[in-house]
Amino acid sequence: MSNKLKPYIVLHAGIFLVSFTGILGKAISLREGILVWYRLFLCVVILGIFGYIFKKFEPLRKEDKKKAFIIGALFCIHWLLWYSSVKFANTSIAMSTISTVAVFNALVEPFINKRPFKLSELLLGAIASIGMILIFQAKSGSSFGVIAGVVSALVVAIASVMNKNLTEKNNAYSLTLWEFTAALMTMSVIMPFYLMLNKQLFPAEHIALIPTGQDIWLLLIFVIVCTLIPFIMNLYALRHVSSFTSNLSFNMEPIWGIAAAILIFQEQKELSVQFFVGLSLILFSVVIFSAAKYKKSLKSKVAI
């Protein structure tokens, strides 16, 4: 295998593994809040042990700790909402909503970095919005799932823009562990209110707090194979390719996820033509946005 080609293969293999988080989120019987808590807890423990053994950690910049904690809390809210979308709608709809992150990034970044909006960004946002409206109307009974997915995409877009500067200044393992720990603490604080709300909304439903049987194995695959291994693979790839190429490549995640959901859960039976039209509009806006960024990177002579 060519040394130049290897980082790209590793990058896309990691993206392929990440795309199965929606599938596993659907397959694991735990409710979304419990699922997110276990995911974060296991990630913190395993990443902490791995980093300690292999001496991967470096002190986080003092001035960045507060910002990293806020970003971790936002990641927690993103995951809680997104897995709510998976549970209340289906994996394909949840994946379609997460594909709007690139467009949300373009709309959120001017607010955070205090720069003027570009007309092209607003037009792409409008196209993506039309796509989301079509998806919202495509499957009856899944309105909450669609809304939760869209809000989760907006939240993670905000977190990603805020996180950009931190990743350039801090050790990736230390920053990730700090943010995962902040997310775990946030979910732990939210948990009592989450359980009370679930009891009021679903009084006849028993909410399992401890995974048993098949859920244990699926949860371990979910955390190790589809979360931590892709994280390490992405870190390896980023040593050889630009962050722009990595972000651009992650636009394939929804495609892989929807394809897997159709193959495994036969979700195409639940989806109308309207869903695929809406998804096509979103992907069109993402492709155009990515192409514009690519063109800009060439002008700036950024290595890809």
Q: Is residue 185 part of a domain?
A: yes
Tokens 């419990």 -> residue: 34
Q: How many residues does the chain have?
A: 304
CA distance 160 to 94: 19
Report the distance separating Cα 66 and Cα 70, nearest Å. Answer: 6
Name the residue range of residue 291's domain.
6-299
Higher pLDDT: 149 or 3? It is 149
In a domain, 304, yes or no: no
Domain count, the chain: 1
Q: Nearest Cα to 28, choosing from 187, 208, 199, 204? A: 208
Residue 192 maps to a domain: yes
**pLDDT tens track for 144-186:** 898 999 999 999 999 988 888 888 888 989 999 999 999 999 9
Residue located via tokens 């972000």? 247
Which residues are within 8 A (CB) of 251 and not within 5 positions of it... i.e. 6 or more apart? 99, 102, 286, 287, 290
> pTM for the whole thing?
0.89
Per-residue pLDDT of 72-125, as tens digits, reads: 999 999 999 999 999 998 899 899 998 888 788 878 888 887 888 777 877 878
Structure confidence by residue, pLDDT tens digits, 36-73: 999 999 999 999 999 999 998 999 988 899 999 999 99
- pLDDT > 70 fraction of the chain, expressed in percent and rounded: 94
**3-class SS letters over the chain:** CCCCCHHHHHHHHHHHHHCCHHHHHHHCCCCHHHHHHHHHHHHHHHHHHHHHHCCCCCCCCHHHHHHHHHHHHHHHHHHHHHHHHHHHCCHHHHHHHHCCHHHHHHHHHHHHHCCCCCHHHHHHHHHHHHHHHHHHHHCCCCHHHHHHHHHHHHHHHHHHHHHHHHHHHCCHHHHHHHHHHHHHHHHHHHHHHHHHHHHHHCCCCCCCCCCCCHHHHHHHHHHHHHHHHHHHHHHHHHCCCCHHHHHHHHHHHHHHHHHHHHHHHCHHHHCCHHHHHHHHHHHHHHHHHHHHHHHHHHHCCCCC
Residue at 258: amino acid letter: I
Residue 1 within any structural domain of the chain: no
Residue 258 falls inside a structural domain: yes
